[in-house]
Structure 1
Amino acid sequence: MPLELVTLPCLADNYAYLVHDPASGATAVVDVPEAAPILAALSARGWGLTDIWLTHHHNDHIDGVPALRSATGAKVTGAAADAHRLPPLDTALPDDGTFTFAGQTVETFPVPGHTIGHIAFHIPAAHLAFTGDSLMAAGCGRLFEGTPAQMWASLSRLAALPGETLICSGHEYTTGNLRFAQTLEPANPALISRIERVAGLRRESLPSVPVPLSEECDTNPFLRAHLPGLKSAIGRPDASDVETFAEIRARKDRF
């Protein structure tokens, strides 16, 4: 039986994700901005929580962990390199590794840039990737700790996943990200179509995530910094990929 995915709005614009295996009853949550919406969703479905997976240490991704762990007894998994900034971990992950959830392999790897210790969770058989605030819907996280080179490498690694992979990111920032993307590629037909679709979703107060990686590659300027068209759009046709990414990120910071 396939894994079930539930996208849960939290706080003002955060998302947590439930991943449930109907066969075993195992359920993981990715990031815990607050406990109440997650507990309500579990109760409504009659699910028990077995695992908590954390992408990075920022408060709006971990503040609900103590209450959720106390209520459910779920085991907490996060990056060993960031253990000093995360809630106490039951499983501390190496920089690159795998573990098993409900009989499926979960790949984990570092995606520094937004923070140094940020990691992603990838379930290949389920075509799911949980990217937190690294690769985001039509955007990427601000570089609070890392460098443009680090973030570009992280995004390039994520972009190499299969195109059907659903990118489950941490915030509802899509509308603003798309407005910015349109300043760079106003004639991109895939971008125009996505803007219209997301506007419809948001009018109904529906999440704009997750999103297939293939759509991100067609519309997200931060994944497209290697393309001659993006280099020309910023007036630097001879810039390196990292230089192009850095300029796009700087423009977004001022947008």
Structure 2
Amino acid sequence: MYDSVIVDCGDTAALSPFLDAECKPLVFLTHGHLDHMSGVPTLQRTYKHCTVRTPPQQPSTTAAQLRWTSSQTLAEASRSLSCACMTVSLTAAAVPAHTSDSVILRMVVRHTDARQDNLKVEEEPLGCLVSSSPDGPPAAVSQSLHAGCAALFTGDTLFACGAGRFFTSTVDSETGLPAAATHLACLVSHLTSPSLDPPPARTLVLGGHEYGAANRAFARTLEPTNEQLRDNPDAVDRDVGSWYSVRGATLARELDTNPFLRLAASPSLRASLNVHADATLPVALAALRTAKDSHSPLTLSFVLSYLWLGLKMKAISWGFL
């Protein structure tokens, strides 16, 4: 059984305050990019009971509906994190948009007495669930995630006020669009559904990097009159819980500010992209992704830092570090 779950593993030093020497962590990787898995060799050396689960390679096919599934490993972790008065459910969904193997992990906390949902319970703490990235402090969700709430660990698929690049080259045979746009549209449709449970105001979104400032600057070029983009970007809803990263934002806030989520119901946003109001969501998302890539092109420093991570990971695996 596990006593903690780690989502991605970039900076192992940042994880030490949350883990003790004898812990039995489950490491869940949202995708196979080096900056999200470079700390795995060190973690395996440090914690002898460490278990690593990599995302399965997903076929690039059109998904009509997002499906949350629970493997035996996630079911065991759910039981480990639960306590007498609160139950935890960990499920994953494949969203091969950023990469062909990208997945999202969802954590839902419920009170064993459904009538007590939305109340903070502190008597019996949950185990620790941590998201680690290479460019900032980890985001931790533990006993402070309230009953009746959810946390989405989105890796590089969805960020605060943005979404990840499409690093897949597969083309949807039916539409001629990047298959990644179709998969991202499936996620957007799910997150903007009026029947989402828990609702957006009680769902926390945790991305793998902090690109909030740049993403908000781009979003303002598309929607200069959106007052929500002028608010304090670090404002959070404490009714959901407490966490340790500015990467955490409620889905409700993202629906007000994130252009990738707002495309589904914003004619003005489509107009700013020169996308017809009747265009399908994948078409609109593909246009938005192209515009965002032009606004924030890959830099040489990014490429060099990624190569450095690869060399560092090799050195660790060979025992040099």
Q: Contact (CA 8 Å) 1:225, 1:245: kept in 2 or not?
A: yes
Quote the offset at 1:134 in angstroms: 0.6
The Cα offsets for residues 201-236 of structure 1, whole Å up to 9 and x where unpaired, read as: xxxxx8421110010011000011122121122233
List aligned pairs for 1:202-217, cutoff 5 A: 207-217=245-255
Measured in 1, the distance between the counterparts of 2:161 and 2:24 equals 30
Q: 1:36 aligns with which of 6, 9, 13?
A: 13
SS of residue paired to 2:35: helix
Structure 2 unaligned spans of 5+ = 59-66, 83-87, 110-148, 169-178, 237-243, 296-321
Corresponding residue for residue 4 of structure 1: none
CA 157–25 in structure 1, closer or farther in 2 if over 3 Å, else same: same
Measured in 1, the distance between the counterparts of 2:289 and 2:233 equals 20
Q: Contact (CA 8 Å) 2:275, 2:287: kept in 1 or not?
A: no
Measured in 2, the distance between the counterparts of 1:116 and 1:80 equals 9
Alpha-carbon RMSD across the aligned residues, in angstroms, is 2.4
Count of matched residue positions in the alignment of Structure 1 and Structure 2: 211
What is the letter of the counterpart of residue 250 of structure 2?
Answer: P
Higher relative contact order, structure no. (Cα contacts within 8 Å, ≥ 6 residues apart): 2
SS of residue paired to 2:54: strand
Q: Which has the higher strand share?
A: 1
* Structure 1 ranges of 4+ moved more than 3 A: 158-161, 194-198
Quote the offset at 1:119 in angstroms: 0.6
List aligned pairs for 1:236-247, cutoff 5 A: 236-238=275-277, 239-247=279-287
Q: Normalising to structure 1: TM-score of the pair? A: 0.75
What is the letter of the counterpart of residue 51 of structure 1?
Answer: L
What is the letter of the counterpart of residue 43 of structure 2?
Answer: L
Q: 2:50 aligns with which of 70, 74, 78?
A: 74
CA 47–130 in structure 1, closer or farther in 2 if over 3 Å, else same: farther
Measured in 2, the distance between the counterparts of 1:159 and 1:63 equals 33
Corresponding residue for residue 97 of structure 1: 69
Larger Rg: 2
Name the % identity: 31
Q: 2:187 aligns with which of 133, 145, 154?
A: 154
Quote the offset at 1:117 in angstroms: 0.9
SS of residue paired to 1:127: strand
Measured in 1, the distance between the counterparts of 2:53 and 2:192 equals 24
Q: 2:29 aligns with which of 36, 48, 54?
A: 54
Corresponding residue for residue 231 of structure 1: 270
Measured in 1, the distance between the counterparts of 2:43 and 2:192 equals 32
Corresponding residue for residue 186 of structure 1: 224
Measured in 1, the distance between the counterparts of 2:253 and 2:98 equals 22
Structure 1 unaligned spans of 5+ = 1-23, 83-94, 199-205
CA 110–37 in structure 1, closer or farther in 2 if over 3 Å, else same: same
Q: 2:87 matched to 1:110? A: no
Measured in 2, the distance between the counterparts of 1:252 and 1:47 equals 44
What is the letter of the counterpart of residue 61 of structure 1?
Answer: H
CA 75–116 in structure 1, closer or farther in 2 if over 3 Å, else same: same
Corresponding residue for residue 91 of structure 1: none
Q: Contact (CA 8 Å) 1:39, 1:68: kept in 2 or not?
A: no
